Structure 1
Amino acid sequence: MKLQQLRFFMAVIDNGLNITQAAEALYTSQPGVSKQIRLLESELGMRLFVRQGKRLESLTPAGERVADHAARVLKEVDGIKALSKELRGEDRGTIRLATTHTQARYVLPSVIDRFRRDFPDVDFHLHQGTSEQILRMMDERKVDFALLSGRAREFGSLVSLPVYQWDRTILVPQDHPLAEREAPLDLATLADYPLVTYVYSDQPESSMMSSFSREGLTPRVAFTARDADIIKTYVRLGLGVGVLASMAVEAGTDDDLIALDAAGLFPRLTTWLGFREDLLLTDLHINFIRQLAPHLPERLFTALTREGPDADLDDQLQDIELPLRAGPGRRPELRGC
């Protein structure tokens, strides 16, 4: 039994048992209404109307009882729809987001600040971790959204929206030999020095190590950390050459370091926002995504709201140019450009 059959059944009753008027009210054809009524009677195994030829005379006793139940069912359905609109339209609540330290420290503050100006009653629960930990939090339903970098296929069944792209930067103290280098930096030169970089960037499958491997190089990774600020601390101590996200290098704070252009040395990375297919996207969620990724087209949000995870995202994201994310301010002196 389908809700459509009950709606057609009740529309016929509401229009004085006149199928033509019921079809007009439903914006459909008269044969379509008649067919749905016959299917309903067939499924229930009883006649709902007393007929005189093709004309409906009245409800049968069974039809009267079915009408009572159908009215209650449709009223509950309308109540559920109203509840959905209410939930989507709430202007308060909590957004639970898991991301890496770099995104939490250098990207999200300005986004959340702008969002909170429009929605001051919304609370944020921000969880930090590695990519593996973030995906585990999603699987365990501890968070609503995951913001992390990689390839879309690594997100499994999550709905994934591209947010921005970013490059790595090479960071050294001012007295480091590379600080005076005038020629563009290459991987062979970089491999001569110990590296300080993110946790898991030292794994063979990482995009950084894969770049060295393609050149037949095996660099020494002397120190790894999850926190970009920790990486910069140990670069200052002389443990090695920093390889980190360009957005993590700040004007003023990091002026004692030299940032070397690494464009072209490593693949450009994409940061994605992922969420589960069964997440009810509220107006709050949509507005947060708009703040985080203002380049995404309005048609995408319309599709997500109407169709949910069934929306054809590939079609909606065609011809989208992703912004390139740099640091929050002017970077320290950039050499080797």
Structure 2
Amino acid sequence: MTLTQLRGFLAIVESGHNITLAAQRLHATQSGLSKQLAQLETALGCPLFERRARALEGLTDAGRQVLAHARRLLAEADNIQALTDNLRGERHGALRIATTHTQARHALAPGLQALERDWPGVAVHVVPGDDADGVQALVDGHADLALLSGTGAPPADCIAVPLYRWRRRVVVPAGHALAGLDRPLRLDDLAGHRLVSYASSQSPGSSLQRAFARRGLHADVAVTARDGDLIQAYTRAGLGVGIVAEMALDLREDLVAPAIDEALLPPCTAWLLMPPTRLLRDFGFALLAALAPQHAPVDLRRLLADGQPLPTPAPDWSTWRAAVHAHTLPLVTTR
């Protein structure tokens, strides 16, 4: 049994038991991967997949149990490699970051600029998706870090670094009835209006839907998008009242953001998440420090090593943005 065989087995599972797709993912041949699987099953003395003719139908009971151990073993092998790379001062590598479109555009960019400046040999791969996709990418080992947000606590099975707090804003075309109120908007002001918001807002478990339900109101989410720019474009087009993250706010003469009641919708926190069982490369820590300048590096290392809570709370979006840009700006020297 070899690590290569186990990686091939894992790739087949994650490719839906399709050896052709798994071989493409591993940049291997189908025949070579089939041979590796046969050698692994021979070494273990039991079949890992149920078969019908030549097709793999699913995992056997033994296959399911082997899969759990294989994931842990391969993760530890990767940790050993990461450890020795750090000890050798290796300056090259790859960093995979799962995040949403909003966070990728408005929060991640300054950190990546600092990483490019200080670690030019590192390739960065951004894995797009919603918050649930990002958590799953961490669990499956397809991402090293995830930049996600929510109104509640972060996932319990992740190391979570709070970056900043942010709020949602209501946007309407200039001249809209909601723009002319002489008081902050309340939730019941939005009831009866068609809403334009993020795709996750249609889920009954979303914070927006729960906020309306607690007041006995109905949230009519008529149009959704993953992109804050699209939400505002659809709002300009008259498709509904937009609800967008404050980071994505792009007001022009034809769009306004009325004042809102503080209790309109619960605030969100942006988190940088990582698996507790995975050793972070030095350049991964450099990105973490760049995106969390409010936390001292020694406190971040204590969190990663021992789980010690961070002493500094997350700032609001505007404060964080100013701090992270100041932290990541290159030094300018004068003569």
What is the TM-score normalised by the length of structure 1?
A: 0.65
SS for the counterpart of 2:142 is: coil
CA contact (8 A) 1:146 1:274 kept: yes
The separation in 2 between residues aligned to 1:159 and 1:172, in whole angstroms, is 38
* CA deviation after TM superposition for structure 1 residue 328, in Å: 7.2
1:119 counterpart residue number: 119
Deviating beyond 4 angstroms after TM superposition, the runs of 4 or more aligned structure 1 residues are 80-83, 151-154, 326-329
Of the structure 1 ranges 146-155 and 265-274, higher mean CA displacement relative to structure 2 is found in 146-155
Determine the structure 1 residue equivalent to 2:174.
Answer: 174
Quick check: 1:247–1:328 contact (8 Å CA) kept in 2? Answer: no
Partner of residue 150, structure 1: 150
- Tell me the equivalent position of 1:276: 275
Which residue does the alignment assign to 1:233?
233
CA distance in 2, matches of 1:323, 1:234: 31
Deviation (angstroms), 1:147: 0.9
Q: Is the 8 A contact 1:152 1:160 kept in 2?
A: no
2:256 aligns with 258
In structure 2, distance between residues paired with 1:270 and 1:323: 9
Which of the numbers 304, 313, 316 marks the counterpart of 2:308?
A: 313
Structure 2: how far apart are the matches of 1:101 and 1:236?
Answer: 20
1:90–1:284: 8 Å Cα contact kept in structure 2? no
Separation of aligned partners in 1, 2:81 and 2:215: 60
Would you say the 8 A contact 2:187–2:264 is kept in 1? yes
Map Cα deviations across residues 266-300 of structure 1 (whole Å, 9 max, x no partner).
11111111111222122211111011111123332
Corresponding residue SS for 1:201: helix
Q: Which residue of 1 aligns with 2:242?
A: 242
Give the partner amino acid of 2:142: K
Residues 97, 143 of structure 1: 8 Å contact kept: yes
- Provide structure 1 residue ranges, at least 5 long, that are not aligned to the other structure: 1-79, 330-337
Paired residues, number: 241
Distance in 2, Cα, partners of 1:184 & 1:166: 18
* 1:177, distance to aligned residue in structure 2 (A): 1.5
How far apart are 1:312 and its partner, in Å? Answer: 2.7
Query: Distance between the aligned counterparts of 1:220 and 1:237, measured in 2?
Result: 17
SS at match of 1:120: coil
Q: Does 1:322 align with 2:314?
A: yes
Question: What's the TM-score, normalizing by structure 2?
Answer: 0.66
What is the CA distance between 1:204 and its match in structure 2? Answer: 2.5
Q: Mapping of 1:30-49 within 5 angstroms?
A: none
Instruction: Please tell me whether the aligned partners of residues 164 and 270 of structure 1 are also in contact (alpha carbons under 8 angstroms).
Output: yes
- Aligned residue in 1 for 2:288: 289
CA distance in 1 between partners of 2:298 and 2:203 (Å): 39
Which of 1 and 2 has greater Rg? 1
Q: Kindly indicate whether the alpha-carbon contact (under 8 Å) linking 1:95 and 1:124 is maintained by their aligned counterparts in 2.
A: yes
Matches of 2:248 and 2:82 in 1, distance apart?
Answer: 43
Q: Deviations over 1:107-152 (max 9, x none)?
A: 1122211221122222210111111222222222111111111256
CA contact (8 A) 2:191 2:217 kept: yes
Alignment of 1:169-248 (within 5 A): 169-248=169-248
Check whether the contact 2:101–2:129 (CA below 8 A) recurs between aligned residues. yes
